[in-house]
Chains A and B, each alone.
Chain A
Amino acid sequence: MLGCMITAGCDVGSLTAKAVILKDNKIISSYISGVKSTPIASSKMVMDEVLRLSNLALSDIDYICSTGYGRYDIPFSQMNMSEISCHGIGAFWVDNSIRSIIDIGGQDCKVVLVDEKGMIKNFIMNEKCAAGTGRCLEILAKNIGTEIGRLGDVSLKARKKHVVITNKCSIFMELEVMDLLYRDVKIPEIAYGINAAVAKRVAAMAQTLKIESNVCITGGVSKNKGVVAVLETLLKKKFKPLPVDAQLMGAIGAAVFAAKECASRSKAA
């Protein structure tokens, strides 16, 4: 159904931008980069890069769909879809047994339930408070002098898992982390506490929906093994491993929507 066409998805988030090109229902190139000053600049940069990687020109792409927080401003896209829909359809497209998706991004966190056709059944989202998002991890990682990308690995080195961060506000957590540093608590143990605190916030939100057992985790924070491990324990579920980079899920979903739209248009024509 989705054959013989080239579509692209562009996901401009709060901290990173992603682009994916789909050809004949397969990913042929993808790219992730930190955001630039405006969503337009970010989208152009990642789009140019995926085109270069796949040796294509913008005119070769049949249809482009944008998503993410900056999705309304993308000049080259023909349609846009919400992040919720894109994460839902993207994860379902990658593995059609998936029914629940937990997405932890830079400035939001959401849980999406999909049906056996990949359509959204229900969702819940936090975009009001930084606790439970990548932003919170970024702030706290900086406090212990660790890069956000290494926070997961560092936390896995913790000998004891006794650090509990009780505050709910990222800035107050920062203070608690400083207090732990003053008390000479080891960095991996603090890193564990940080990851556990974020996982706890996400779990509290996820538990308000009925999560099914075929669940996966997407978004940048899904690369943090520490958060993932604690979240699996709290939810008493194992996340299904995905064959693609889970941070690309929004962009993949957008490209899938573009392909569907393109197919229905050519059918109509």
Chain B
Amino acid sequence: MITLGYDIGTRFVKACIVKDTEIIGSSCIEIGDNFKNILKAVKSRAMKKAGIHCFSIKKVVSTGFGTSLVKERHRKLGVASCLACAAYHLDKDVRTIVDIGGLFINVINVDERGSVLNFAEVEKCAAGSGKFLETISHAIEIPLVAISDIALKSQNAYAMTSGCAVFAESEVISQVNTGAQKEDILAGLVSSIVSKTAAMIVKSGAKGKIVITGGVTKFAVFKIFLEKELNKEVFNLALDPQLAAAYGAALIPAVNPHLLKD
């Protein structure tokens, strides 16, 4: 069976085409002005990579913040179920999934059969999100791909005084103007996201193996800082972390069809 999973995130739209639990095509496009075109493009690119036609797709499942914007015939599912499905399918030992995306941090605990036990989400304030990282690195003119290497050079992380992502931007600009090192600012920034995430993990009562997913975890520095903060090893899944939720959505009809029953 060929299935399609969408993850309509706050910063990127992801599509993943799965055949018998294997990814055969995927794509990821940044959110922009024309959502309809983006959605169309993300699907056609994934289909092109998979080398299939539209009519081969048997089921469509969507998840993520903007799932209600998907107009084609599909089923909707919460991001916690999709992430749990993807993570458990790839690694049966997983007990906690930590997802750091564009604006939200999710912590999901699953039992030994992969069912969701509980999940927590940050949703009130953007301090400590991917967007925060993006805004600041843009303000101090560091390309996203260089974040990890530069942040890891820091010997003395800068402690941000603004709690607000908007004000932090002006704070770092004036810090750079008065001679602060960019690596120290980036390291401070990653630390602030990591400490927020770690607090959520501890509060959720996570006990077993932890995996990290979501676009922000593409930066190696994040995993290194999180391990230090938790004093415990955390793991990546064997796929692009940004695709995890879309992959889970596509897997559900084959692996967990009961979740789609009303």
Footprint of B on A, CB under 8 Å?
14, 37-38, 107, 128-130, 135-136, 139, 168-172, 175, 178-179, 181-182
Interface residue B164 (Cβ < 8 Å from any Cβ of A)? yes
Q: Which residue of A lies closest to B127 (CB)?
A: A169
Q: Is the CB of A139 within 8 A of B166?
A: yes
Contact code string B120-160 (vs A, CB < 8 Å = 1, else 0): 00011110010110000000000000000000000000000
Residues of A within 8 A of B208 (CB): none
Are A175 and B166 in contact (CB-based, < 8 A)? no
Whole-angstrom CA separation of A139 from B166 in the bound complex? 9
Size of the B side of the interface (Cβ < 8 Å), in residues, is 23
Assess the A178–B31 pair: CB atoms within 8 A: yes
Q: A169-B124, A182-B69 are in contact. Are A175 and B170 (CB under 8 A)?
A: no
Nearest CB on A from B41, distance (A): 15
A168: chain B residues within 8 A (beta carbon): 124-125
Residue of A nearest to B11 (CB): A175
Residues in A with CB closer than 8 Å to B132 are: 171
Does B65 touch A at the CB level, under 8 Å? yes
Contact with A along B38-66 (1 / 0, CB 8 A): 00000000000000000000000000011
A–B pairs, 17, beta carbons within 8 Å: A107-B167, A129-B163, A130-B167, A168-B124, A169-B126, A170-B164, A170-B165, A171-B165, A171-B166, A172-B103, A172-B125, A175-B10, A175-B103, A178-B31, A179-B66, A181-B33, A182-B35
* Contact among B65, B164, B165, B177 with A175 in the assembled complex (CB-CB below 8 Å): B65
Closest 10 CB pairs of A and B: A130-B166, A171-B126, A182-B35, A169-B125, A129-B164, A169-B126, A170-B166, A130-B164, A171-B165, A175-B10
| Closest chain B CB from A68 CB (angstroms) | 14
How far apart sit A218 and B124, CA to CA, in the bound complex (Å)? 29
Distance (whole angstroms) from the CB of A127 to the closest CB of chain B = 8
CA distance A171 to B130 in the complex (A): 11
Q: Which residues of A contact B164 (CB under 8 A)?
A: 128-130, 169-170
B residues in contact with A130, CB < 8 Å: 164-167
By a CB distance below 8 angstroms, the chain A residues around B65 are: 175
The answer to whether A128 and B163 touch across the interface, beta carbons within 8 angstroms, is yes
Best-surrounded residue of B124, B129, B164 (most CB of chain A within 10 A) = B164
Q: Closest approach, in angstroms, between the C-beta of B99 and any C-beta of chain A?
A: 17
Residue among B129, B132, B167 facing the most chain A CB atoms (10 A cut-off): B167
Collect the chain A residues with CB atoms within 8 Å of residue B163's CB: 128-129
Q: Whole-angstrom distance between the alpha carbons of A172 and B123 in the complex?
A: 8
- In the complex, what residues of A have CB within 8 A of residue B10's CB? 175
Chain B residues lying within 8 Å of A179, measured Cβ to Cβ, are 66, 69
Please report the C-alpha to C-alpha distance between residue A107 and residue B169 in the assembled complex, in whole angstroms.
12
Note all chain B residues with C-beta closer than 8 A to A107: 167, 170
Nearest Cβ distance between residue A35 and chain B, in whole angstroms?
10
Of residues 164 to 187 in B, which have CB atoms within 8 Å of A's CB atoms? 164-167, 170, 177
Among candidates B131, B162, B167, B177, residue contacting A37 with C-beta atoms closer than 8 Å: B177
Beta-carbon contact of B35 and A136 below 8 Å: no
How many angstroms from the CA of A33 to the CA of B181 in the assembled complex? 30
The distance in angstroms between the C-alpha atoms of A199 and B103, with both chains bound, is 24
Establish whether residues B166 and A136, one from each chain, have CB atoms under 8 Å apart when the complex forms. yes
What chain A residues lie within 8 Å of B124 (beta carbons)? Answer: 168-169, 172
Contacts of B166 in A (CB 8 A): 130, 135-136, 139, 170-171
| Contact A172 B126, beta carbon cutoff 8 Å | yes
CA distance A257 to B249 in the complex (A): 65
> A38, B177: Cβ atoms under 8 Å?
yes
Nearest CB in chain B: distance from A60 CB, A = 33
A38 CB contacts on chain B under 8 angstroms: 177
CA gap between A160 and B59 in the complex, in Å: 39
CA distance A245 to B27 in the complex (A): 53
> Which chain A positions have C-beta within 8 A of B103?
171-172, 175
Within 8 A of A (CB), among B14-34: 31, 33
In the bound complex, what is the Cα–Cα distance between A95 and B162 (angstroms)?
36
With A and B bound together, what is the CA distance between A139 and B135 in angstroms?
12
Q: How far is the CB of B240 from chain A (nearest CB, A)?
A: 23
Are A14 and B170 in contact, CB atoms less than 8 angstroms apart?
yes
Q: Closest residue to A108 on the B side, CB-wise?
A: B167
- A139: chain B residues within 8 A (beta carbon): 166
Chain B residues contacting A182 (CB-CB under 8 Å) are 35, 66, 69
Closest chain B CB from A232 CB (angstroms):
26
Give 6 new A-B contacts, CB below 8 A, not counting A107-B167, A172-B125, A182-B35: A128-B162, A135-B166, A169-B164, A170-B164, A172-B103, A179-B66
Distance, CA A234 to CA B148, complexed state (A): 47
A37 CA to B170 CA, complexed, in Å? 11
Residues on B with beta carbons closer than 8 Å to the beta carbon of A129: 125, 163-164, 167
Q: Within 8 Å CB of A178, what residues of B? A: 31
